[in-house]
Structure 1
Amino acid sequence: MKIKKPNLKSGRGILRESAPYCTAILFYLLLKHLYVLGDVIAAIVSVLTPILIGLILAYIIDPPVRKLEKKMAARGSRHYRGKAITIVVLIIVFSLLLLAAAVIPQFTTSIIHFSSNTTAYHESLQNSVDSLVGHHVDLTSTFSITDKIMVKLNKSVQNFIAQKSAATGKAIGNLAIDFILAIYFLLYKKSILRRGTHLLHMIVPESSYDQTAAFLKRCDVIFIKYISCEVIDGIIVGVANAVLMLIFRMEYIPLVSVVVGVTNLVPTFGPIIGAVCGVFILMIDNPLHAIIFLLITGLIQGLDGYVLKPKLYGDTLGIPGIWVLIAVILGGRIFGMWGMLLAIPVAAILSIVIDEAIIPALKKRQARRDGETAAASGGGDPGAGA
């Protein structure tokens, strides 16, 4: 049996023929060892964390600063850049302190209060279940399990508060440093952008510089649009949840509403997490309120998904739902919570790259191959010139 040797002279050698198989093997190994990639990136990011967080904060704070800056400039105000930065930073810090004051004390006190009043909660839950079912249901085994869980949770909360007080102070100090870095980045924004432009000129060839700059501008628009719309959407969902809970006179309104608003920032899985947390918090006080809360959550999420988000986003992030799900799963596995939060804009940017760069390049390559094949077949046909 004669083995056909690869034609190395025409470029169709062993390397070219084995390239698809090598690519498939590398892709499989990459998917199988995603955690290794995540560990490497996490090690690099941990060293640059303060600077990265400062840049991210400056990037998030910059859009409202620009809007306020334009209004101040139109009114003829002096030093409007510094004033706009100060006002926006003070609003953000005040909002964070207000959220912490509304959530943290209520969370700790609710856990401790529940653990010290288990008998009353048992009676309330037993009466609610009996009234819903229509006959007596023995919940003794369920109560024993929940009591053990709450005792452990109570001890964990108390130990966490006692042991993590120093770490909390350190985290607050780090956050203050990050905000200071963000303020400096905002103050020297023009200088940073100018140097970034010079660096881009050095890296990118002159022939493709305008195209690269336009692509980066589109990425900036996508990220800013996504972040601003997510924050607005989370605030609206949290406020709507608080109003409806207030109408039905439920307990733990600040705690549950903040949890719902914050978890709503996470795509796909966030509303589910918020609903589960809210049901658990309300179940310990009034099971009927927990059922009503589920109905409220379904109503709010329906309006949010079909009315509010299409109005906010428009056509900026037009990507299929399956890509959103895949991006959220992969982003969460590689980068954790930040990966889940930024999965949608990254997927939108990759969609742009695929649609406007990769697919046209592949089409040109295929057209060139078809042309070469047609020329070869035409040139080799003896009757072509007849």
Structure 2
Amino acid sequence: MEINKDQFKKIFLTAAAIILFYWALQNHIEVADWFNQILGLFAPILLGLAIAFIINIPMAAIENRLLKAVPNRFNKFKRPVSLVLAMLLMVAVVVLVMVIIIPELVRTFLIIKESIPGFVTQVQDFLNDIIQYFPELQSEMTITIDWAEWGKKLFEWIQRGATVLAGSTFSVISATFSGVFTFVLGLVLAIYVLLQKEKLGMQAKKVMYAYIKEDRVEHLLRVLHIASRAFSNFFTGQCLEAMILGGMFFVTMSLFNLPYELMISVTIGFTALIPIFGAFLGCFIGAFLIVVTNPVQVIWFLILFFVLQQLEGNLIYPRVVGSSVGLPGIWVLIAVTLGGSMFGVLGMLMMVPMCSVVYTLLGESVNKRIKDRKISKHKITKKFNV
């Protein structure tokens, strides 16, 4: 059997890939370090592309809808105006959240500071009432707090923290400067990319058509289009879902006269940007704030949270986010779980649209294979006992 040039090339590339993969597994620590260095080197570029992608979502909506009726002679101004309006909109949202949260946070800490002694007294009275009914628990539930000892430990902890902070001041300043510098470079790159996105896209396609087979370029462009649409729809749906959930909490907490309704609603809405599990973080923060000032109301808050969470998780999220990315609710949950276990919060955010792309491409491939193999619909829909 003769091996032609193309077959030899495929065999060689497959063997090289297997050897390279085996070597990477044997030297995974060095490979990870090298990969981190590469990521650090290209961090401003990657950050700039990420910022450009996020800003492009509202910018495209403004340019294609809000400024659609602008006369053609002003077309050259539509892109810069859309970019400025999109950036101002995002800055306004961040400022609004900070304006709402920071004053409420300061007021909350002041209230907590004044409420802690009363809270401790309430806990002690509650335990004393239990002891009256169950005297045998007195030895286990007697609580004495030495405030002088607590104050001494707190002072020592602050002193050690100040020493560590003073020793790491230079590294903190250096890291902060490096982060700000990277962000500024990324933002400048993002602005350039957004202003020239059609030209850059055309240049990229010219390079691909020059060095890659035409059918593969068409397939790659289609995959990139599906990925772009999935990520864009996911971030839009996630923001809309967070706003809906935050609004639901504000209305219901106001109706039931629960404290910190504005701050807790904004916090839950902000943390809900993390798919599925983010709202639980907001619940923990809200429960902590309420339990210090009024332990009884925290029970009603938790009941309210789980009712709204069930409504949001089973009705709103699958329809707002799941439908926007074309991914069923069960696969959204699996994607978030896998992404969180592998890459943390960032994995939760990125895995849903990535799974949406795989789900779309795999579905098309499966349907094509079934059609080519002439499998009847009756065989697929036929029920079977499990």
| TM-score in terms of structure 2 length | 0.70
Counterpart-to-counterpart distance in 2, 1:237 and 1:83: 32
- Provide the residue aligned with 2:119 in structure 1: 121
- Provide the residue aligned with 2:52 in structure 1: 58
- Provide the residue aligned with 1:259 in structure 2: 267
| TM-score in terms of structure 1 length | 0.70
Q: Cα–Cα, structure 1 residues 69 and 268, in superposed 2: closer, same or farther, change >3 Å?
A: closer
Counterpart contact for 2:322–2:332, Cα < 8 Å: no
Counterpart contact for 2:250–2:262, Cα < 8 Å: yes
Please state whether the residue corresponding to 2:274 is helix, strand or coil. coil
* Matches for 1:1-386 after TM superposition, within 5 Å: 41-70=35-64, 71-76=66-71, 78=74, 79-104=77-102, 106-107=104-105, 110-111=108-109, 114-115=112-113, 117-124=115-122, 141=143, 171=179, 174-313=182-321, 315-319=323-327, 323-357=331-365
Identity of aligned residues (%): 25
Q: CA offset at residue 313 of structure 1?
A: 3.8
- AA aligned opposite 1:287: P
Q: Cα–Cα, structure 1 residues 105 and 360, in superposed 2: closer, same or farther, change >3 Å?
A: same
Q: CA offset at residue 86 of structure 1?
A: 0.7
Counterpart contact for 2:115–2:293, Cα < 8 Å: no
Counterpart-to-counterpart distance in 2, 1:34 and 1:240: 47
Counterpart contact for 2:318–2:329, Cα < 8 Å: no
Counterpart-to-counterpart distance in 2, 1:33 and 1:303: 48
Q: Cα–Cα, structure 1 residues 35 and 126, in superposed 2: closer, same or farther, change >3 Å?
A: farther
Counterpart-to-counterpart distance in 1, 2:314 and 2:47: 33
Gaps of 5+ in 2: 4-10, 376-386
Please state whether the residue corresponding to 1:336 is helix, strand or coil. helix
Higher helix share: 2
Q: Cα–Cα, structure 1 residues 250 and 161, in superposed 2: closer, same or farther, change >3 Å?
A: farther
Counterpart-to-counterpart distance in 2, 1:54 and 1:199: 21
Query: What is the root-mean-square deviation of aligned Cα atoms in Å?
Result: 4.6
Q: Cα–Cα, structure 1 residues 119 and 314, in superposed 2: closer, same or farther, change >3 Å?
A: closer
Deviation track 1:144-185 (CA, whole Å, cap 9, x = no partner) reads 89x89x959x959x9699966886677566545543332222
Q: Cα–Cα, structure 1 residues 244 and 315, in superposed 2: closer, same or farther, change >3 Å?
A: closer
Counterpart contact for 1:282–1:289, Cα < 8 Å: yes
Please state whether the residue corresponding to 1:284 is helix, strand or coil. helix
**Higher deviation after alignment, 271-280 or 128-137:** 128-137
- Provide the residue aligned with 2:383 in structure 1: none
Q: Cα–Cα, structure 1 residues 200 and 135, in superposed 2: closer, same or farther, change >3 Å?
A: farther
Q: CA offset at residue 207 of structure 1?
A: 2.4
Q: CA offset at residue 257 of structure 1?
A: 2.3
Counterpart contact for 1:128–1:288, Cα < 8 Å: no
Counterpart contact for 1:38–1:335, Cα < 8 Å: no
Q: Cα–Cα, structure 1 residues 167 and 249, in superposed 2: closer, same or farther, change >3 Å?
A: farther
Counterpart-to-counterpart distance in 1, 2:102 and 2:27: 38
Q: Cα–Cα, structure 1 residues 34 and 299, in superposed 2: closer, same or farther, change >3 Å?
A: farther
- AA aligned opposite 2:360: I
- AA aligned opposite 2:194: L
- Provide the residue aligned with 1:383 in structure 2: none
Counterpart contact for 1:37–1:334, Cα < 8 Å: no
- AA aligned opposite 2:120: H
Counterpart-to-counterpart distance in 2, 1:341 and 1:88: 22
Please state whether the residue corresponding to 1:249 is helix, strand or coil. coil
Counterpart-to-counterpart distance in 2, 1:358 and 1:185: 36
- AA aligned opposite 1:348: S
Counterpart-to-counterpart distance in 2, 1:34 and 1:283: 47
Deviation track 1:298-348 (CA, whole Å, cap 9, x = no partner) reads 222222223322432464545466654553344334433211211111112
Please state whether the residue corresponding to 2:258 is helix, strand or coil. coil
Counterpart-to-counterpart distance in 1, 2:154 and 2:104: 18
Counterpart-to-counterpart distance in 1, 2:338 and 2:29: 10
Please state whether the residue corresponding to 1:342 is helix, strand or coil. helix
